[in-house]
Amino acid sequence: MLPFVFDDTFGFEQYVDYALDVPMYFVYRNKTYIDCTGMSFRDFMAGKLPQVPGELPTLNDWENHLTTIFPEVRLKRYMEMRGADGGPWRRLCALPAFWVGLLYDDESLQSIIDMTSDWTKEEREMLRRKVPVTGLKTPFRDGYVRDLAEDVLQLAKNGLERRGYKEVGFLREVDEVVRTGD
């Protein structure tokens, strides 16, 4: 997780600064991948990559570089929620529906902000570390992650309902996971 995304002052500029300094893997030229391991895109922008001396990056170079950065949420032309970027076919539409219900509805989004705004860095790190091991049974504050999952799922459902496109059914699989813990 990128700690700066939780700052009240977070903006795209901070993400770009972060991405500029994430070590590169390659530059693609003439159907060939040129190894640039460990170099920064910031150096590339200054024409300082020894592998392609004096050459400046293209927009395609930047887009390629962004695909090699692996935070939990990756900013592209959209937000890629990487924490659950796989899973069974029957859940394929559940993840986008979940996020649409939370992020595309002002009321649900504000509820999520209110719910999480006082979480500490230590609590977020604890959740990131323990939830993959103990799942919905992970203790959190005065309850369990299951309680939190029920609340967040309801917010996603409410957000989808307010959109009026009959998308709530896509969350059935998530509902089942939250209900059973499996």
pLDDT at 13: 95
- Both tokens of 166, joined, read 């009959």
Higher pLDDT, 105 or 72: 105
Q: Is the pLDDT of residue 87 over 90?
A: no
What's the pLDDT band for 88 if we cut at 50, 70, 90? confident
pLDDT (tens digit per residue) in 116-149: 999 999 999 999 999 999 999 999 999 999 999 9
Interval 72-83 mean pLDDT: 83
**What is the model's pTM?**
0.85
Q: Is the pLDDT of residue 39 over 80?
A: yes
Q: Distance between CA atoms of 133 and 157, rounded to whole angstroms?
A: 26
Interval 150-164 mean pLDDT: 98
Q: Is the pLDDT of residue 92 over 90?
A: no
pLDDT at 85: 66
- What rounded mean pLDDT belongs to the chain? 94
